[in-house]
Amino acid sequence: MTSSAGSLLSLNNLGKRFGSLQALEGVSLDVRAGSVQCLLGENGAGKSTLCNLIFGVYEPSEGDMVFDGAAWAPESPAVALEKGIAMVHQHFSLVPRMTVVENLMLGQVRGVLKRHEFGARIRDIAENFGFTLDPDAVVGELSVGERQRAEIVKCLMRDPKLLVLDEPTAVLPPGEIGALLDICRRVADSGRAVILVTHKLAEIAKVADRVAVLRTGRLVADESMAEADMGALVHAMVGRELRPLDVALAETDEDVEASEAPKGFALVCDGLTVHDRHGAVRLDNFTLEIRPGEIVGLAGVEGNGQSELGMVLAGLLRPTEGHFYIAGNDLTHAGAAAVTAAGGGIVPEDRHAVACVTAMSVAENMFLNKLDRFTRFGLLQRGALNAAAQKQMQEFDVRAAGPEVAFSGLSGGNQQKAVLARELTLDPLVALVAAQPTRGLDVSAVEAVYRQIRAAARRGVGVLLISSELDELLAVADRVAVLYRGRLVGERPAEMNERGAIGALMSGQVA
């Protein structure tokens, strides 16, 4: 058991196995008091596992930890909290209908509530770290950034020595990221240590003192931010020069000419505007035209109106203003069934909530919008349905024990392929709107999804590809439009050397 001088938390050769899966292996890291440590890695690299070990959710399989000069093996998050480690989770644990002060008192006080006194403490702490927080505001009425600050104050009230923030920027609109980083800096300056977990290095680069990179459960880089080379770090995180998408890109596009381009636009958005329940503008006068056979990428940090746009185009949300057309048909108020009938294929960003009924069979899900085809006198022809599903499963490489197994039993990649199969086999298919279609998928599934999307475009389908993964968009799309705070702020050709310009647009810097 060793501990370097000055380090608050030391991880020594830490490992974690789940059954046969080695989630984490041989991780050694020192986190110093008064510093901001950035923990970088792609989805599934082991960041969450590492946090959960530190925070006492799991026990390590190998190795040990030292915290504040003593062996560290917390048996539960409660113990970790008590001993000085606090964590802000990606999903907040606040009760929306209670006020900030009530939320922060929950579980912390006994007996009669002294809201005033406690509220004053909240104000003090917030002020100490350079921000404001109204203790009497109802949490449900706060912005995401304000809720996050409430969570941070909740942690700071316990006067922790180490503050862990899990993907804190993922939920924030770009404008609030700077404020968050200032808070992190001040927390570190007060002598505490801060661990920032993220897969978006660029956003937090300016506040990090040190950066460690995890890839497939191993620590592949650990250096001082001042000396680090950004390109090298990204390379270490991704671990490969050639992304799978480049392979897809390398496929010849020769047969593009083969399909005759129909006249007019596949999909037209004309001034779409969405106000949320509180009247805030989520989508602002969004106008975009997509030709048949064209793939338009829509880039943007999550939470800048993509979800609302997806819901509008799926026929599930009525825009406050504006119209959209598929093959010239105005479908703004027509509803989901009409979008499907007009040839609008939709791959929604939240697969489980919108695209499928996981408790029903694969066949039922693959034909959920075409059940009429298998209906005679009101009765469902199951034999024909299952046979058709079987055929389509082969065609789209959906791997499952059979068409009758529950959809929930499929892997994420196979679920997505099934949804894609359903939407791509619409007849007619004029436009495809795919939102974050590769999220959470493994490399081979990502490749399969994009192969299908490109094939559809070659057949003359207009594709709107909404993604927060800029590299994917650059690889697949013909041009990239950028959404920022609900507005279309610019459009660039999908070329690697435009990466910087698009990135600037995404972060709200007008070119």
Partner 1 sequence: MEEMLAVFIASTLRLAMPLMLAASGELVSERAGVLNLSLEGMMLTAAFFGALGSWASGNPYLGVACAILASVVVSAVQAWLSVNLRANQLVVGIGFNILALGATTLLYRIIFGGLSREEIPGLPKLAVKGLSDLPFAGTAFFQQSVIVYVGLALIVLIWAMLNHTSFGLAVRAVGDEPRSADKAGIPVAATRWKAVLITGFMAGFAGAFISIADIHTFTENMTNGAGYLALAAVIFGGWNVGRTIAACLLFGAATALQFQLPAMGIHVPTAFLLMLPYLLALLAVAGVVGRLEPPTSLTLPFQRGK
Partner 2 sequence: MTDRRRLLGMAVPFVAVLGSMIVGLLLIAASGKDVPDAIEAFMDGAFGSAFAIGASINRAVTLSLVGLGFILAFRANLTNVGGEGQIAVGGIAATALGLWPPIASLPLGLAVIVPLLGGTLAGAFWGGIAGFMKVRFGTNEVISTLLLGFVALLAVYWCVQSTALLRQPQTSSATLPESLQIADAAKLPSLTGNAESPLHIGLVICLLLAVATAIVLQRSTFGLRLRAIGLNELAARRAGMPGGIMMVVALAMAGAFGGLAGAIMLQGEQYYLKTGFSSGYGFDGLVVGLLSRGSTLGVLAGALFFGFLRSGGISMEIMAQVPAALTLVIQGLIVIAVAGSVILVEKLQGAR
- Give the interface with partner 2 as residue ranges (CB under 8 A): 314-316, 335-337, 340-341, 346, 348, 353-360, 364, 368-369, 371-372, 374-375, 378-380
Q: Rounded to the nearest whole angstrom, what is the least distance from the CB of residue 375 to partner 2 in the complex?
A: 4
Which one of 13, 69, 70, 96 is in contact with partner 1 (CB under 8 A)?
A: 96
Q: Rounded to the nearest whole angstrom, what is the least distance from the CB of residue 344 to partner 2 in the complex?
A: 11
Judge whether 38 and 212 are in contact, CB under 8 Å: yes
Our CB check for partner 2 shows the closer of 236 and 431 to be 431
Binding site partner of 287, from partner 1, partner 2, none, Cβ cut-off 5-8 A by kind: none
Task: Give the distance from CA 469 to its chain's centroid.
Answer: 9
Binding site partner of 511, from partner 1, partner 2, none, Cβ cut-off 5-8 A by kind: none
Which one of 95, 230, 337, 359 is in contact with partner 1 (CB under 8 A)?
A: 95
Binding site partner of 360, from partner 2, partner 1, none, Cβ cut-off 5-8 A by kind: partner 2
- The DSSP call for residue 433 is E
Measured CA to CA, the distance from residue 49 to residue 45 in angstroms comes to 9
Q: Rounded to the nearest whole angstrom, what is the least distance from the CB of residue 179 to partner 1 in the complex?
A: 24
Per DSSP, the three-state class of 170 is coil
Our CB check for partner 1 shows the closer of 101 and 327 to be 101
- The DSSP call for residue 406 is B
Judge whether 248 and 475 are in contact, CB under 8 Å: yes
Our CB check for partner 2 shows the closer of 183 and 464 to be 464
Measured CA to CA, the distance from residue 96 to residue 511 in angstroms comes to 38
Which one of 90, 93, 143, 394 is in contact with partner 1 (CB under 8 A)?
A: 93
Instruction: Report strand pairing: 329-330 vs 210-215.
Output: unpaired
Measured CA to CA, the distance from residue 316 to residue 333 in angstroms comes to 9
Binding site partner of 354, from partner 2, partner 1, none, Cβ cut-off 5-8 A by kind: partner 2
Strand partners, 166: 197
278 is an interface residue for partner 1 by CB under 8 A: no
Q: For residue 95, give the nearest of 138, 57, 44 by alpha carbon.
A: 138
Q: Rounded to the nearest whole angstrom, what is the least distance from the CB of residue 422 to partner 2 in the complex?
A: 9
Q: Rounded to the nearest whole angstrom, what is the least distance from the CB of residue 485 to partner 2 in the complex?
A: 26
Q: Rounded to the nearest whole angstrom, what is the least distance from the CB of residue 19 to partner 1 in the complex?
A: 18
Measured CA to CA, the distance from residue 46 to residue 51 in angstroms comes to 9
Phi, psi of 122 (to 5 degrees): -60, -45
Of 99-107, 226-234, 370-378, 497-505, which segment contacts partner 1 by CB under 8 A? 99-107
> Residue for token digits 């995404």?
506
Q: Rounded to the nearest whole angstrom, what is the least distance from the CB of residue 428 to partner 2 in the complex?
A: 15
The contacts of residue 71 (CB under 8 Å, 6+ apart) are 1, 64, 65
Phi, psi of 18 (to 5 degrees): -115, 105
383 is an interface residue for partner 1 by CB under 8 A: no
Of 64-72, 103-111, 303-311, 412-420, which segment contacts partner 1 by CB under 8 A? 103-111
From residue 106 to residue 135, what is the string marking binding to partner 1 with x (rule CB under 8 A)?
xxxxxxxx----------------------
Judge whether 24 and 14 are in contact, CB under 8 Å: yes
Task: Pull the structure tokens for residue 29.
Answer: 């890291």
Task: Pull the structure tokens for residue 465.
Answer: 């590809």
Contact positions toward partner 1, by CB under 8 A?
77-78, 92-98, 102, 105-113
